[in-house]
């Protein structure tokens, strides 16, 4: 009986000591074909409190081992393989605390059996195991089968925090709906259409394609107006082909099948 009261007492002291508590961590998961890619964003001051020292550099062996031990997935008692990708620190801003530094961790969780990708236990306690007032919001940002492809359509699936009665951090039980390939296709098609509609460069490119679509080809140039039926068919062909093509490229990028190096596109 004493343990819950002791934890509650510590919580009250910590809340009084922190006039402006830092924002929660945010973990975004993307369900791919054979693995789950994730991104965890957490306040730097909270991470420093958790490890008990100031952080001068984040991309090193210590933090790779640290996050490997505190970002895990398990199915039936068997832990998945955790791979830590890029580690970085970036400035951000919150309406309550103002500007602060946040740590960004890219990671990949890979099970032995791909059938476990939709039902597993997400064991995340990178800060919470030491800073008892902290919590982590977990969202699914990409899930092809359920039509989740953008940040706007991301769905929160749970919150990881300290369970005061037991004094433990309870892992999150993840149970994603089965969904279907058709749902994913329709969602990607809508995303492609929306992307084209909002992109000025895409619209200008389409205009260049559409302007001559109503004209009859003559030798090496364009002739007179081809008529309503001819123009309508050509316009539909061009718009449909462009939408399908752009949707395919978005799909390849979303599934991680094609990835272009960033440094080749910097000017």
Q: Which residue has the higher pLDDT, 173 or 146?
A: 173
Same domain, residue pair 82 and 173: yes
Read off the pLDDT band of 190 (50, 70, 90).
Answer: low
Same domain, residue pair 145 and 232: no
Domain of residue 208 covers 182-265
Confidence (pLDDT) at 165: 87
Q: Which of 18-22, 106-110, 221-225 has the highest mean pLDDT?
A: 106-110
- Which of 161, 178, 195 is where one domain is finished? 178
Read off the pLDDT band of 159 (50, 70, 90).
Answer: very high
- Two tokens, residue 217: 């080809």
The string over 234-248, giving b where at least 16 C-beta atoms fall within 10 Å of a residue's C-beta and e elsewhere, is: beeeebeebbeebbe
Model pLDDT for residues 205-238, shown as the tens digit of each residue? 777 877 787 888 787 777 788 788 888 888 888 8
Confidence (pLDDT) at 16: 43
Same domain, residue pair 159 and 136: yes
The secondary structure of residue 148, as a DSSP letter, is B
- Which of 153, 178, 203 is where one domain is finished? 178
Read off the pLDDT band of 195 (50, 70, 90).
Answer: low
Same domain, residue pair 222 and 172: no
Same domain, residue pair 65 and 155: yes
Same domain, residue pair 160 and 186: no
Read off the pLDDT band of 17 (50, 70, 90).
Answer: very low
Same domain, residue pair 109 and 203: no
CA terminus-to-terminus distance, the chain: 63
Confidence (pLDDT) at 256: 67
Model pLDDT for residues 50-88, shown as the tens digit of each residue? 999 998 889 899 999 999 999 999 999 999 999 999 999
- Which of 155, 178, 201 is where one domain is finished? 178
pLDDT above 70 covers what percent of the chain?
A: 78
Q: Considering the entire predicted model, what is its pTM? A: 0.66
- Do 121 and 113 form a contact (C-beta atoms < 8 A)? no
Confidence (pLDDT) at 255: 66
Which residue has 């830590």 as its token pair?
84
Mean pLDDT of the chain: 82
CB under 8 A, 24+ apart: contacts of 99-102 = 100/22, 100/23, 100/43, 100/44, 100/45, 101/43, 101/44, 101/45, 102/41, 102/42, 102/43, 102/44
pLDDT surpassing 80 at residue 7: no
Same domain, residue pair 207 and 126: no
Same domain, residue pair 107 and 157: yes
pLDDT surpassing 70 at residue 186: no
Q: Which residue has the higher pLDDT, 49 or 183?
A: 49
> In the chain, how many domains are there?
2
């Amino acid at each position: 009986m004493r343990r819950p009261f002791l934890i509650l007492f510590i919580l009250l002291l910590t809340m009084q000591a922190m006039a402006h508590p830092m924002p929660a961590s945010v973990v975004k998961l993307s369900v791919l074909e054979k693995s789950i890619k994730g991104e965890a964003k957490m306040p730097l001051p909270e991470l420093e409190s958790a490890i008990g020292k100031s952080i001068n550099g984040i991309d090193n062996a210590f933090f790779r081992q640290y996050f490997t031990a505190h970002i895990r997935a398990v199915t039936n008692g068997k832990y998945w393989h955790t791979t830590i990708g890029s580690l970085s620190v970036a400035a951000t801003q919150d309406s309550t605390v103002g500007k602060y530094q946040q740590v960004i961790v890219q990671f990949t969780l890979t099970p032995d059996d791909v059938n476990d990708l939709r039902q597993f236990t997400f064991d995340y306690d990178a800060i919470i195991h030491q800073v008892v007032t902290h919590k982590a919001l977990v969202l699914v940002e990409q899930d092809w089968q359920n039509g989740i492809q953008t940040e706007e359509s991301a769905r929160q699936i749970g919150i990881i925090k300290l369970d005061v009665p037991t004094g433990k951090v309870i892992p999150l039980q993840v149970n994603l709906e089965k969904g279907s390939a058709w749902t994913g296709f329709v969602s990607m098609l809508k995303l492609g259409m929306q992307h084209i509609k909002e992109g000025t460069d895409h619209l200008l490119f389409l205009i260049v394609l559409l302007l001559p679509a109503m004209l009859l080809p003559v030798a090496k140039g364009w002739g007179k107006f081809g008529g309503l039926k001819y123009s309508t068919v050509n316009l539909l062909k061009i718009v449909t082909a462009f939408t399908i093509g752009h949707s395919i490229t978005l799909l390849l990028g979303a599934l991680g099948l094609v990835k272009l190096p960033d440094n080749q596109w910097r000017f």
